[in-house]
Amino acid sequence: MVEVKVTPPIDSVGYTTTDKGVQLYTNTHDPNNNTRYYRWDYSETWQFHAKYQSGYKSDGKEIVNRPVSEDIYSCFGNHASSTILLGSSAKLAKDVIYQNPITAIVSTDEKIETKYSILLRQYALTSDAYNFWVNLKKNTEQLGSIFDAQPSNINGNLHNIANASEPVIGYISACSVQTKRIFITKDQLPQSFNTVYPYSCSADSVFYAKGNPPFNEVENVLIPLPSSYIPISAFMLGNSLSISGFTASSLECVDCTIRGTKTKPAFWK
């Protein structure tokens, strides 16, 4: 039989800042001193921008104004935790977890460019379940140097009933789940934090007529679909009253949808 644990509420999810970035942490406690062993995981969501905002697009025949409904400048990204996050108050007089680290975000990360949110989930564990997760963490995340723990057997509560000698890695726990979400906006962070775009980007000029004899770069580079370049803005040269060409850049630098989604999450505020 698996013991069913009642998970106490998450008291808070908070963060501290340094010149290097943001450190997120959590606080919780069990006034009945019945939990003692905790595990967490989380989901991150953030709003980010492409390097350049495109006001134009190709319809396959010509360059036309980009409709607001087809904006590709602002998107939402998301990520689920992949590390094992544990905490224990077993050696303390009271069942209190104070500022247990959750995750860190460097000051240049686009996660905190505009607005960031994290949904933290908290699980109460038995001592056996906690020890299983501790060993799993040591075997999967803390190997690689002579100072790390050596690999060890991971004993869970799953077994192959057809072959008792075959090792099975896994642990079944039963508990309620507590959650808490927070938002962090750019204006809550130090002004010294400067986002570094993840790609090397530059905007080039693409002309309707270039060289002698003139070559139509727009027709040959920007209009054919699919194209590796997206028009950003139009420009005119000299006293010309017509568009001479467009600035353009690569998909990675203009189209946020290659790394995120335009769909605004229901919880976003």
Q: How far apart are CA 180 and CA 121, in angstroms?
A: 7
What pLDDT shows up at residue 155? 72
What pLDDT shows up at residue 171? 83
| 107, part of any domain | yes
Cβ-Cβ contacts under 8 Å for 161 (sequence gap 6 or more)? none
What pLDDT shows up at residue 146? 47
Instruction: Tell me which residues of the chain have a pLDDT lower than 50.
Output: 146
- The CA-based angle 103-109-114, given to 5 degrees, is 100
| 161, part of any domain | no
Give the pTM. 0.88
| 40, part of any domain | yes
| 244, part of any domain | yes
Which whole-number Å values give the CA distances from 143 to 25, 81, 219, 267, in the listed order? 24, 19, 55, 38
What is the tally of structural domains in the chain? Answer: 1
Residue pair 41/180 in contact by the 8 Å Cβ criterion: no
Q: Look up residue 122 and give its two tokens.
A: 């908290």
Residue pair 113/49 in contact by the 8 Å Cβ criterion: yes
Residue pair 234/206 in contact by the 8 Å Cβ criterion: no
What pLDDT shows up at residue 167? 72
Q: Identify the domain containing residue 107 by its residue range.
A: 4-126+173-258
| 264, part of any domain | no
Residue pair 41/80 in contact by the 8 Å Cβ criterion: yes
| 252, part of any domain | yes
Number of Cα atoms under 13 Å in the Cβ half of residue 103: 19
What pLDDT shows up at residue 145? 53
| 73, part of any domain | yes
Q: Please give the single-letter amino acid code of residue 151.
A: P
What pLDDT shows up at residue 218? 98
The model's pLDDT over 188-223, given as tens digits with 9 standing for 90+, comes to 999 999 999 999 999 999 999 999 999 999 999 999
| 119, part of any domain | yes
